[in-house]
Amino acid sequence: MKTKIIRVGLGLTFAIAPIAVAQTKGNIQRGRQVFTQCAVCHSLDGTAKIGPSLRGIYGRKAGALAGYGYSPAMKASGVNWDNATLDAFLQAPRRTVPGNRMPFPGMGNAQDRQDVVAYLATAK
Ligand code: HEC
């Protein structure tokens, strides 16, 4: 009986979710794996490595973490990091924020990008 109630609950969630959160379909667990590509340069614990910490990046303005030496391009980009901007940036960092200094060529796989963005959104 208990199981049945849970199934009904999930069914409702899936029926509504595509409309309400169309952009956040990423798989957080997969995103954690994808993030290993970023982790050489980015922590999620607030400490800077080669790149700024990405803790709290979701919903933050680009180039806004105090104490990190961003490129002038990143600071002046005016970007707000959300699903769409993170997706575009991770696909083609140099085209999205011209002149930025992230030494990462981009991520061609759209599912990987969605998953890693979903994971980043949990790093508050
Ligand atoms: C080889 C090092 C390196 C790798 C790998 C890397 N980054 Fe970066 N990243 C940087 C640097 C350096 C910057 C700062 C760029 C600047 O100031 O122009 C940056 C900036 C960023 C920013 C903007 C931060 C802010 O505070 O506005 C985001 C978002 C970001 N990276 C996400 C990622 C993600 C997600 C990955 C993995 C898919 C990744 N990066 C892989 C080095 C890296």
What tens digit of pLDDT does each residue of 43-61 get?
999 999 999 999 999 999 9
In a domain? residue 102: yes
Which of these, 112, 88, 113, 110, lies nearest to 98 by C-alpha position?
88
CA separation for the pair 124, 55 (Å, rounded) = 6
In a domain? residue 11: no
Number of the ligand 1 atom closest to the C-alpha atom of 74: 18
Q: Is the shortest distance between the CB of 80 and ligand 1 below 6 Å?
A: no
Q: Which CATH number does the domain housing residue 57 bear?
A: 1.10.760.10
pLDDT digits (tens, 9 = 90+) for 80-120: 999 999 999 999 999 999 999 999 999 999 999 999 999 99
In a domain? residue 43: yes
Q: Is the shortest distance between the CB of 70 and ligand 1 below 6 Å?
A: yes
Q: Domains in the chain: how many in total? A: 1
CA of 71 to the centre of ligand 1 (A): 11
Q: Considering the entire predicted model, what is its pTM? A: 0.85
